[in-house]
Structure 1
Amino acid sequence: MGTGFAIRRRVLVAADQRNVDSVTAARRVAAHLTDVDVLMRTEDGHAPPGEDSPDAALVCDDIPLAEDLARRQVPVVFLSSSAVDPETWPDGVTVRCRHRPAWLPSLWDGVTGVGTMAPARLRRTRDRDGVLALVSLAGGSAAEARRYVGEVLRPVVDTWRRRWADEVLVVGDAHLDALADGLGGLDRTRVRSVAEIDVDDAHAKAGQLLATPTLTAATLAWARRAPVVLLPPANARQERLVAALADPWGTPAAVTAADLADAPTPGGLAVVTGSVALASDDLRGAQRVARQVRQVTFAPV
């Protein structure tokens, strides 16, 4: 005779903490896993209680972890949000998929994508202020990061905050020391890790989005019909994304400190995405991945 209590399944959700697209994708899928207990890996990589024996796992771009879980016979959905060749993806996982919006057909030829992984909440708050500067330095060296922050990012942030007196929240992924050191001494400027800041929530409350070219920034602008001011690419990966954005957006222009100095308002510098048709993408990529996670979680052993 049953006890009347159903045992909830446990799903480990983990991401490459050095990649804003990986962290954001993991959170967006997790928001739809309401019928399981989600075990989120912490900012410092510490294992949550129960990680040693989850019923299934969603792993975003953390290849060593995905392979380790697969060796332990844990069903794994591996989601890639990077431009890494699928030949390098982990073996032995149950499902492999890629975050590729339908409106970026030229970025990863021959790979089936899940569509746009939009934030769970599409609306932004009514009273928005400040600037969210989403800066990804993943994929580059420490020297490249310091050069980019010093030569590109600091002049832009400094000019922006002086011209429009905005608070600037800088959220980064890799090379956080280069960000903190390079932006040190600027008033009304805070630097935080993407592992500790919910980017979707921060964007909902921010007046403006300033960002290096990433899938996270592109999907925020696309899904929420919100303009984004693009920074110059920080590395070759971002240059490829900018080239791919030329199809749906037209070639997006990157801003410099000189552009900000001459602009009457920041809005005139933004890439506006609302005019692009959405017929080819229903914004349900996160739900699709969540459904795959449920399938492997509840599949009979």
Structure 2
Amino acid sequence: MAVLTPREGADARRTAAEDPGPGSAPPPAESGRRILLVSRDEHLDSLLARRRIAAHLGDLRPVLEAPDEPPPHVVLVCDDEGATERLRASGVPVVHLTSGHRPPSDPPARLDGVLHRVHRPGWLPDPAPDPVPGATDARPTGLLAPARTARRRKREGTLLLLSAWNVPAAEADTFAAETVPALVRAALRRTGRCDVVCDTRLEPIRAALAGLGDDRRVRVRRAVDVDVDTLHAEAEVFLAAPTLGAVGLARARRAPLAFVPALGAAQRDLAAQVRQLVPIPLVDDPEHDSVWESSDDAVPWDVLDPEPDDLRGAQRVARTLRQLALAPL
């Protein structure tokens, strides 16, 4: 089993200049307008949101935040409210994106002096339709879809996409020790290979999977170290934690999806809301045939009937950033 050295910690984050995303090409060096893109390494939705928006920035050039560098013309911060406050105080135009689902009991905080966006598809109900004291009036983006919506014709293996962000440690460790090995064993029997990708707390997963297969059959990697969207395009079966990033992948590509048991309040709330609209299978029993259904019509995404441009959330945010870089508010 492949073992990669994790870079974990509560404050782990990187900019697009450090990590433009596996497989993505840097923008032209001659670009005059600079952009700082910040996301949290250990939050799957945050990472995927930044990468998907970065794919549509045109000639804006990602830069590092450094004392000897000129300030950027515009900043996108995904989820890191501390970074947003600090960068706003420096006088740079900031777009703050809340990338992951938030249950009604935990609405995004109000952020003054910035443009606040929240990742929410048009078909997903507002989790807090009634005003909450201190909550934000952020504008929804629509779905942040991957830049490429096609999957490979020849697909193989299983992608198991997990998120332990903001999940109680005991709950995440129990899931890693008991649920993940059962899922991987079933994936190996059904599809011959399994890529396990998680945003944080990988060591318990690696320990639980030790000895299940060599690195050609079982690979365990951090989300920040791989191109999640490409792995999905290559996989025959997609099992995922209930996150907006995972739902966006399957919805945009009209691909099969099965939810693994939800961890934490946000995942449980999102799974319940999405499954009220579309019957996504739950992986209660890894041996059940419905979990391994890989046909394109396994999930009836057509029932969502979105607005024509709802899949263009990443382009919409990128357009706002380009406009701010040219003409700050």
| Alpha-carbon contact 1:210-1:228 (below 8 Å) kept | yes
Q: Which residue identity does 1:98 align to in structure 2?
A: V
Counterpart selection for 1:56 from 70, 74, 95: 74
Correspondence for 2:127 among 92, 107, 115: 107
Which residues of 2 match residues 65-144 of structure 1 at below 5 A? Answer: 65-84=83-102, 85-86=106-107, 88-93=109-114, 95-109=115-129, 112-144=139-171
- Return 5+ residue gaps in structure 1 as ranges: 42-46
- CA drift of 1:159 comes to 2.1
Counterparts in 2 of 1:236-251, with a 5 A limit? 236-250=265-279
Q: Does 1:207 align with 2:236?
A: yes
Work out whether 1:288 is the aligned partner of 2:316: yes
Post-superposition shift, 1:190?
A: 1.1
- Give unmatched runs, 5+ long, in structure 2: 1-28, 131-137
Out of 193, 204, 223, the position equivalent to 1:178 is: 204
Query: CA 1:202–1:49 in structure 2 vs 1: closer, same or farther (change >3 Å)?
Result: farther
TM-aligned CA deviation for residue 64 of structure 1: 1.3
TM-score by length of 2: 0.79
Residue pair 1:132, 1:203 contacting (<8 A) in 2 also: yes
Maintained 8 Å contact 1:171/1:193:
yes
Tell whether the 8 Å contact from 2:278 to 2:304 is kept in structure 1 after alignment: no
Instruction: Work out which of the residue numbers 32, 37, 48 in structure 1 matches 2:56.
Output: 32
Does the aligned pair in 2 maintain the 1:59–1:79 contact within 8 Å?
yes
Shift of 1:100: 0.2
Contact persistence 1:221–1:273 (CA under 8 A): no
Query: Does residue 8 of structure 1 match 2:29?
Result: no
Residues 209 and 106 of structure 1: CA distance in aligned 2, closer, same or farther (over 3 Å) = same
| Aligned residues with identical type, % of pairs | 39
Counterpart residue identity of residue 37, structure 2: V
User: Which whole-Å deviations, capped at 9, do the CAs of 1:235-266 have from their partners, x for residues lacking one?
Assistant: 1110100111133204x34113xx33343881
Q: TM-score, normalised by structure 1?
A: 0.86
Pairwise CA RMSD of aligned residues?
A: 2.6
Partner of 1:44: none
Q: Kindly tell me the number of residue pairs found equivalent between the two proteins.
A: 286
Cα distance, 1:49–1:125 mapped onto 2, change above 3 Å: farther
2:72 aligned counterpart, secondary structure = coil
The one-letter amino acid paired with 1:298 is L
Inter-partner Cα distance in structure 1 for 2:153 and 2:100 = 33
Shift of 1:155: 1.1
**Aligned residue for 1:149?**
176
Per the alignment, do residues 285 and 48 of structure 1 end up closer, same or farther by CA in structure 2, a change over 3 Å counting? farther
Pair 1:274–1:262, CA change in 2 (3 A): closer
